[in-house]
Amino acid sequence: MPRMRFEDLDKITDRMRKVMSLREGSGQAKITVHMGTCGLSAGARKIMKELIRCADESEVKDVIFSTSGCAGLCSREPMITIELTGQAPVKYVDLTEDKVKRIFAEHIVNGKIVAEYALAIGSEQTI
């Protein structure tokens, strides 16, 4: 590291944004991969790895990942839920690596829901 100038503070902060938004648990986009037994056997691990790879290569810095158990719709796994700040969560079903690549590029990066892969908008209510 060369000796820092004032503007380097911003550069480092920017470079570290992915790490810190994860650390602080705050991100513009939250992707939940459902990892119940059904999800795992349908290939949820591959979906997760592909999404992380997309995030790695993307300019978008504040995406955070989460996992959860079975979402109750085992026949449509692998499933993910995407929540953008201030918007209703969207569930995508029957995913493949190619499909999530497109979802990442369109939904996460450009904010446009990929309607043809989406199951529904919104989540069930929990009491």
Query: Residues in the site for another protein, rule: CB under 8 A?
Result: 1-6, 9, 12-13, 15-27, 30, 32-37, 40, 45, 48-49, 52, 55-56, 64-69
- CB closer to another protein out of 20 and 88: 20
- CB closer to another protein out of 86 and 115: 86
Minimum gap (Å) between residue 58 Cβ and another protein:
9
Minimum gap (Å) between residue 110 Cβ and another protein:
20
Minimum gap (Å) between residue 88 Cβ and another protein:
20
- CB closer to another protein out of 19 and 120: 19
| Chain-centroid distance, C-alpha 87 | 14
With helix as H, strand as E and coil as C, how does the chain read?
Answer: CCCCCHHHHHHHHHHCHHHHHHHHCCCCEEEEEECCHHHHHHCHHHHHHHHHHHHHHCCCCCEEEEEECCCCCHHHCCCEEEEECCCCCEEECCCCHHHHHHHHHHHHHCCCCCCCCEEEECCCCCC
- CB closer to another protein out of 36 and 117: 36
